[in-house]
Structure 1
């Protein structure tokens, strides 16, 4: 097949003057090269398309592809991850990963938690703060946890995200509202173990690749898998492949959430256990990072015996089967 590749290249945005944190979700050239090599090794031709602006130009010139491997994160709005899938839908071009509805729902952590909670699955009690006037109305027991409602890669998550009193709640929420220009998700802080679960497949065929426990080391920002800790994970974080009873429950909950949200082809679900050892849904990454060495999904797969080529091939094959392609 002739497979196009849509993505946001981090170097392009850095060159345009954006900061390291602003571009944290975008992909390094090494990620693009690794995915491209894996697709070619699987027997397909690849075409680098790039970001949505490049995609628009190429569609306008009547270019098409048998399939698009889409990892474009987008820049603006709650629909930023939905823009490329929506455009491809309009041109009836099939693509890998979830469609525009799912991408928009899963980017907005508040909406995704509504879906998960209403599906009867465990997630911490929460509220979404849209403006500073709403902060005083938060009626949840401390400690709490706050983060931007629609960011990834730990953006906006710092040591101040764990909140112990009303003054700290006011300050943290005001800072996040001002910095990220979007609502703030406030939820009950859970004291237990932190897991991330990789999933590949669709519907009843979806399966867990395994469970990774995130363990923060002594010099890390405590209690939170923050932007700083993620960016310096080599020295601040350990990742343990786990398969005990609590980890197995995490995989069960993650798979149920993945299906409830209607995700396609692959994703990664983050969970944290409550005081009783029950893993709760925190968020889902329907466009999980795919850098072969530093992305959580790739690390997770490797620690469970799935190499990078196998990971990309399994994602690609899941999409091909779902779409009925040959």
Structure 2
């Protein structure tokens, strides 16, 4: 059985605002919980005018309180900018309030040159990425027996359960760390759809070392989706996504997620058309039956345990309908009941 998850960017639709977007994310999370989705993650996006999720830990606290059983996580925290100790404290606090429901997704992105400069102003140097992960694990577990430069330091509050740790990426350091440190691994198909990805995941599974966080390897893949009742309606909705992504991929910062009407009026440059064609390889567009079929193909290709859907299409009502259609196609509610 493949678990289905959601990564919600908290999109600010054309004609809307950040407050509305966060309210819509809350409602989508509640509905995903009711429908039987397994995890609900939010990203850390800085200087992105069309996205309301800039502080995932704060949004996670709100979403975990607004839902009942779905796991809530970060997709992911940009740890190069922060103190491992403070990250551990934040996630121990989340775990204390919502035990066995918290995921710490870790990312190596810096968010761009200006964002990185601002978040690290006056810092003389950064810890190596691997050291940061080691430190986070040490502080989350309360381990004091092994040698560490802050050996007796404890992150509080002390909790009986631990958050799950996920390394996010598309190969490189993230995979190696997930293997060596015994974390789960989320492969970013939506960034780098590639046959190499299957080899990366196979290597992770083969060399995985069990840890206190995970006894066995666990793999998720992330993909953009646009879901509607008919293929034609899904293609219409995807036009807004095409415009939004074309803007992002050509170094623009759109002030909102465009409507279909706005997208239809847009004339694209040859570069933008090229970007759109490339983007289409990173997404699934269609009716529930088609999207389900493609998800299962992807899961089989990558040998993934879970698939994380990124429903970046316009309109809160459309996103609610889309995740409901797919949940019905996968019979998630029936599976949720049988698992209880």
TM-score (norm 1): 0.33
TM-score (norm 2): 0.32
Q: Which has the higher contact order (CA 8 A, sep 6+)?
A: 2
* Structure with the higher fraction of residues in helix conformation: 2
